[in-house]
């Protein structure tokens, strides 16, 4: 269980880092003329990362409501 938690925390860190990097790239690309398809793909990847981050966080944080 501890190994799973450690690996999930590492993965979470990697995903958050990639999400931040994408955010920076997207902000820069939005401010200048660019390939809209490329920009759309980056935004989609960022949303997928956000979903994966949320999923991992939900596994790491116990549900106290139940």
The pLDDT profile of the chain, 66 residues, written as one tens digit per residue, is: 568 989 999 999 999 999 999 999 999 999 888 889 999 999 999 999 999 999 999 998 876 665
Q: What is the pLDDT of residue 66?
A: 53
Report residue 60 CA to chain centroid gap: 16
- On whether residue 37 sits in a domain, the answer given is yes
Burial label, 39 (beta-carbon count in 10 A; 0-12, 13-18, 19+): middle
Q: What is the pTM of this model?
A: 0.82
| 19, 27, 30 from 52: Cα distances, Å | 11, 21, 24
**Which domain range does residue 46 map to?**
2-60
- On whether residue 65 sits in a domain, the answer given is no
Name the helix (H) or strand (E) containing 16.
helix 2-30
Q: What is the pLDDT of residue 6?
A: 92
- On whether residue 7 sits in a domain, the answer given is yes
Structural domain count, the chain: 1
């Amino acid at each position: 269980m501890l190994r799973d938690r450690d690996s999930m925390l590492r993965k979470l860190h990697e995903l958050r880092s990639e999400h931040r990097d994408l955010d920076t790239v997207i902000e820069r690309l939005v401010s200048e003329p660019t390939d809209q398809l490329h920009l759309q793909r980056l935004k989609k990847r960022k949303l997928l990362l956000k979903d994966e981050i949320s999923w991992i966080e939900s596994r790491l944080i116990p549900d106290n409501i139940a």
